[in-house]
Amino acid sequence: GENVEQHPSTLSVQEGDSAVIKCTYSDSASNYFPWYKQELGKRPQLIIDIRSNVGEKKDQRIAVTLNKTAKHFSLHITETQPEDSAVYFCAASGSGYALNFGKGTSLLVTP
């Protein structure tokens, strides 16, 4: 089945710096890649997604890039703010009905 690896597991940046989280996947049939943000004690929420026919997508301070040849995709957060502190999960669609999630990256933005 699909295997999604996510790195790093923890990331600490200073406010205003950029943060990058990377994921790799194994199933070449994967064609949908969402990113979810989970603040402490809250439910995961979709923040951005990308489909395989697109190489990059941007929404204000967040962007996602996809390299289908290398089977990896990344989340970029620019001008980080303390409220960006959360756990971020990448996911990839598989051949079945389920999204396959990475193990998450705990991002801490220090003022």
Residues of this chain that interact with another protein (CB under 8 A) are 4, 6, 32, 34, 36, 42-46, 49, 51, 89, 91, 93, 96-104
Residue 14 vs 43, nearer CB to another protein: 43
The least distance separating another protein from the CB of residue 75, rounded to whole angstroms, comes to: 15
3-state secondary structure 58-106: EECCEEEEEECCCCEEEEEECCCCHHHCEEEEEEEECCCCCEEECCCEE
Residue 14 vs 53, nearer CB to another protein: 53
The least distance separating another protein from the CB of residue 46, rounded to whole angstroms, comes to: 5
94 touches 106 (CB < 8 A): no
